[in-house]
Structure 1
């Protein structure tokens, strides 16, 4: 079995899932070639699990001050280069293409008529999944950004018969709780985030983002991006403040870390994640760096929900190595717990969202 595996590298979540899949695929009788797009090659780090990987420019969204910049997105992407890259990929000898919402590999497979399998959070957005912030453009992008023949979505709840639990990239390490709060808001102005946190000198924070120097700013310890250090501090944190990306919040749920989350403004996926988290009561949602909301959350940090996910990456790796023959609905049914008390909390009806204290900004 030979696979081309495309990964959208704009955010760390896609790469984190890919690392888990790479480890699970390594001992199996399957040959995998990796392709990463959406971020300059020199800004990729901790890529050892992928060996010699391919890279293309791809497509990505530009952000500014915690929101999507549509003008920056239009100016920053080159559609002609993207189409050239999709048409020029050499696909001879591949049995299938797998894409984690990566457009070059997805469109290359689509144009060449090669079976293309989507494994990612974006493929979970069917009719039963909570959606917020959607418009004609966002719906068009979701449908056409990385088209596939077999969509396997990932989410915190079985919203559809093709939806699996999250793929987790968590090391086996002790999780003795310290008193710091981990902060990862990579799309925000980092100086503004630091000032926001410094208003609470009694609480220690560890703030991570690309480009930060390793230094102390009062009660805030600043860190540059590092997978090993970040996972270590995540394991020992008492709670987490982050944007509403899927992967990090999945890791927080697995490790029982309370979450305060701010969705990226104008980004349908993150706004929809925030809506699902509020419905499931899995996190508290804010929509600005509000001092009152942070003060209330620090004073009354809720207990983390009792959630546990299977090792989805191991099951998916075997499924791929065996030719991906089992139907998605059967695969999904085998991965969600069904015993009493194990299945996730029933979502609340969306009309009750405004009554939840967890949605206060």
Structure 2
């Protein structure tokens, strides 16, 4: 079996899912080619495991100061380039297209009548999660952006019959490395949509605590109680296991990893991004995170003094998903999801 795996690269959570699922696909003997879109190719990093992957422009949103910039987003759309990318993507050699909310591969599969599976957090937003009513237009918008024959949403609870647990990379190696590093307590910070200088100044208002801030910098440096580090897919998971808590935007992947690892969460949703609004609402409703919207010291201090969180174990769906794909997606999604949630954590 050979599949094309399209990955939306706007945020790192989609790529994290691909990293988690790829070994299970390979164990099933499935050959996988990747296509990434939504981020300039030169901004992708630590991509060796994906081999000679394809890249397309796709669609993404522009942000500034923690907010989606709607007009700038619209001005950067390249519909004719998107149409060319979809038209030129030949899927004749593939048995199936798997899309993590990646629109080029999704629309190419739809146009060519190819069996396709959508696996992404966004597909869960078709439902009123944690009691929050889904916007009336959202279900249609999600299906139009990246359509697929079968839709697999991911969520933190088995709230609806076709929702699966998060797909996350194995944390065993990171846990073992973290145990061998006797670091002083620190808070892990990742706020990529915010101004780095603003975040640093905010953290420095709490000099009694140590912070590790991962940001778009070229080399490590320290400012008082804040250590600023370049992005890394090897160092970051270790620090996630070692830290006392996590401050981040409301991206699904990192919040999932923090919850499973038993880290308390302080989240700032990206303003204007509906997925992060839903994620924040659900996390707060579940009692798994505190929310802040402004860089003032009060919410930070209140959260820092809160006790540690308990781990939130979830079953790993990777092997079951890979087996289901290999068998041609013949089992109903609801049966697949039910079997996964019944697995031991």
TM > 0.5 fold call: yes
User: Contact 1:131/1:268 (CA < 8 Å) preserved in 2?
Assistant: no
Which deviates the most, 25-34 or 174-183? 174-183
Q: 1:316 aligns with which of 321, 327, 345?
A: 321
User: Contact 2:261/2:311 (CA < 8 Å) preserved in 1?
Assistant: no
Question: Deviations for 1:285-334, whole angstroms, at most 9, x for unmatched residues?
Answer: 1222231000111112x432441111211221222122222211011111
Query: Which secondary structure does the structure 1 equivalent of 2:324 belong to?
Result: helix
User: Contact 2:124/2:163 (CA < 8 Å) preserved in 1?
Assistant: yes
Q: Which residue of 2 aligns with 1:5?
A: 5
Total equivalences in the alignment: 339
Query: Which secondary structure does the structure 2 equivalent of 1:335 belong to?
Result: helix
Report matched runs for 1:218-257 at 5 Å: 218-257=224-263
The CA RMSD measured in Å over matched residues stands at 2.0
Q: Which residue of 1 aligns with 2:217?
A: 211
Q: Which residue of 1 aligns with 2:154?
A: 154
Shift, 1:77, TM fit = 1.9
Residue 128 (structure 2) pairs with residue 122 (structure 1): no
TM-score (norm 2): 0.93
Seen in structure 2, the aligned counterparts of structure 1 residues 170 and 289 have a Cα distance that, compared at 3 Å, is farther
Shift, 1:143, TM fit = 3.1
User: Contact 2:213/2:227 (CA < 8 Å) preserved in 1?
Assistant: yes
TM-score (norm 1): 0.89
**Cα distance between partner residues in 2 of 1:115 and 1:338:** 27
Residue 163 (structure 2) pairs with residue 179 (structure 1): no
User: Contact 2:211/2:226 (CA < 8 Å) preserved in 1?
Assistant: yes
User: Contact 1:132/1:268 (CA < 8 Å) preserved in 2?
Assistant: no
Q: Which residue of 2 aligns with 1:67?
A: 67
Q: Which residue of 2 aligns with 1:335?
A: 340
Q: Which residue of 1 aligns with 2:199?
A: 193
Shift, 1:137, TM fit = 7.0
**Cα distance between partner residues in 2 of 1:113 and 1:267:** 31
Query: Which secondary structure does the structure 2 equivalent of 1:151 belong to?
Result: strand
Question: Deviations for 1:248-303, whole angstroms, at most 9, x for unmatched residues?
Answer: 01101111111111110111100000000011111111222231000111112x43
